[in-house]
Chains A and B, each alone.
Chain A
Amino acid sequence: MNRHTVPLREVASARTGDKGNISCVSVWVYDPRDYEAVKASLTVERLAQAYPALWRGPIQRYEVPALHGLNFVFHDALEGGVNASLNLDFHGKSFSFLLLALDVEVQRP
């Protein structure tokens, strides 16, 4: 097995939701064998450094091993939320693709 660096989008899907000024993104690996590797790559510390101007507040990560999923909650991450944001996409629906653009390290034969 060798380590390979790939964009998250090649090995997982993601979906964004919003509540107020909080954005949440769930991440689902296509192959359960990548779950541990993706989990190791997508740490809270890593995400906090990824887009600091957008994801300004605390970040929580919930693991859902039964479904091979990770759920991220980004506080103060919607440019004020629907009440205040001037972003065309004030729900942050497109933010899942910011996560999917990040590189992760996976094991491949």
Chain B
Amino acid sequence: MTFRIGAGAGFAGDRIDPARDLAERGRLDALAFECLAERTLAYGHLARMADPDKGYHGFIERRLEAVLAACVRQRTTIVTNMGVANPRAAGRIAVALARRLGLKIRVAVVEGDDVTGQVTPDTFLPELGRTVREQGLRVVGANVYLGIEALLPALDAEPHLVITGRVADPSLFLAPIAHRFGWRPDDWQRLGAGTAIGHLLECTTQVTGGYFADPPYKVVPNIARLGFPFAEVEGDGSGIVTKLDGTGGLVSELTVKEQLLYEVHDPSAYLTPDVTADFAGTRVQQAGKDRVHIVNASGRERPALLKAIVGFDGGFLAEAEFSYAGAGAVERAQIAAAIVRERMAEVHGCREVLRLDLIGVNALHATAIHRPAQTTDVRLRAAMRTHDRRMAENLLSEVESLWLGGPAGGGGYRGGITPSVNTQPIYVERDAISVNVEVLQS
């Protein structure tokens, strides 16, 4: 028996059409949508505070509408963290959508990741070496990374859709795989192997030719139409990672290897709530066009504690840009930068760290290397973090004032202020977590 599982989203802003294609043509047993980056959840808490019926993934309806009918028809189980900070409200949205589409579905809502109530002023933040009180920022919310233990009971109800909040990304994939094969919760070898498959799928196109092209060394065919990946998983946890015929991109040994260690530190100890996965001995072998065989990924006993992320109010990120072109453009942009720096300090008394980049000369790598300026088309970028909204506005005004008061020939002002959240990890006991599953029907 082979279990076919696909990836329907790899982050909150991922494409929708490849998920629809996979749902319709993939003959999948399961389709998992990962829509929750480290800081996304804190923004979800803010949305829920503003409106108790909100705080779930903003694109939930359009994502589900693209796949729901095909998944119900083919009995493909959808698993997703689109519940963000409000899984129950997300479940109700899914049920309402199913009714509108004339579909009869069961939705399992899994809660228990929200541990905001367990964070106190005395909670210690290990990476900072101080407590929440000493950190001095307002706590927005805290969520623990749940694992397959939380999802397996929900899958027992044979739902069409499982909606939850914070779950470790590979667990979204590992749960339906382990459920189908009936793996024991301490079968570390198989859980490690399945985690490798989940890890390879969780960023969708990053294993099918996205985040990859670098011609002439790495060339990606039909790159605007990259297919989303799926895996054919065997009962021992090995599997083939592939994509649909006719989609763009490629699945090669190199796309798989690059993704296998993506955001991994020690390849022999990748920690999830389910297992300490060991990818160091993994064998990766091309087994046909766009088909790569993954074997020998393994694992050891899971970590004792669960990781949680605490979100704090991080104030504002203010960014503003202005451009110069033609002869002497770099010199004129440098004068503009100096004007902004001097006026922020001396007119506004700003004590915040101010970053001034010359885009087109040196921006992304500016801290690492100093490059000589050769361009005649350069964009000044000013950026600053502050808790003082007024100071953020001052920065935008100063860059905008370059229209009338900066060097010759400047134009193209854009500016924006983005609310910002900070995140810090904490570690919690497993028995401090209680998971609740509720099944809704359309």
The total of interchain contacts (Cβ-Cβ below 8 angstroms) comes to 110
Docked CA distance A98–B38 (Å):
25
* CB-CB under 8 A for A67 and B284, given A26-B261, A83-B314: yes
- What's the least CB distance linking B294 to chain A, in Å? 11
- The complex places the Cα of A64 from the Cα of B280 at a distance, in Å, of 6
For the complex, count residues of A whose C-beta is within 8 A of B: 38
Please determine whether B263 and A24 come into contact, CB atoms closer than 8 angstroms. yes
Question: Is B265 on the interface with A (CB-CB < 8 A)?
Answer: yes
Q: Which of B228-273 contact A (CB under 8 A)?
A: 254, 257-268
Is the CB of B184 closer than 8 A to any CB of chain A? no
Contact B368 A51 (CB under 8 A): yes
CB-CB under 8 A from B169, the residues of chain A are: none
B265:A13 contact, CB within 8 angstroms: no
* B218 interface hit (Cβ, 8 Å): yes
Q: How far is the CB of A11 from chain B (nearest CB, A)?
A: 9
Q: Known: A88-B364, A94-B365. Contact between A83 and B423, CB under 8 A? A: yes
Min CB distance, B413 to chain A, in Å? 17
The binding surface of chain B is classed by DSSP as: loop
Closest to A10 in B: B217
Q: Is A66 an interface residue (CB 8 A)?
A: yes
Question: In the bound complex, what is the Cα–Cα distance between A89 and B366 (angstroms)?
Answer: 11
**Within A1-44, which residues are at the interface with B (CB < 8 Å)?**
9-10, 13, 15, 17-20, 22, 24, 26, 28, 30
Q: Is the CB of A53 within 8 A of B368?
A: yes
Known pairs A24-B261, A66-B283. 10 more at Cβ < 8 A? A30-B217, A60-B265, A60-B266, A62-B265, A67-B282, A71-B267, A79-B367, A88-B383, A93-B211, A98-B365
Using a CB–CB cutoff of 8 Å, the interface residues on chain B facing chain A are 38-39, 127, 211-212, 214, 217-218, 254, 257-268, 279-284, 314, 353, 355, 357, 359, 363-369, 381, 383-385, 422-423, 425
Tell me the A residues contacting B by CB distance below 8 Å.
9-10, 13, 15, 17-20, 22, 24, 26, 28, 30, 51, 53-55, 60, 62, 64, 66-67, 69, 71, 73, 79, 82-84, 86-89, 93-95, 97-98
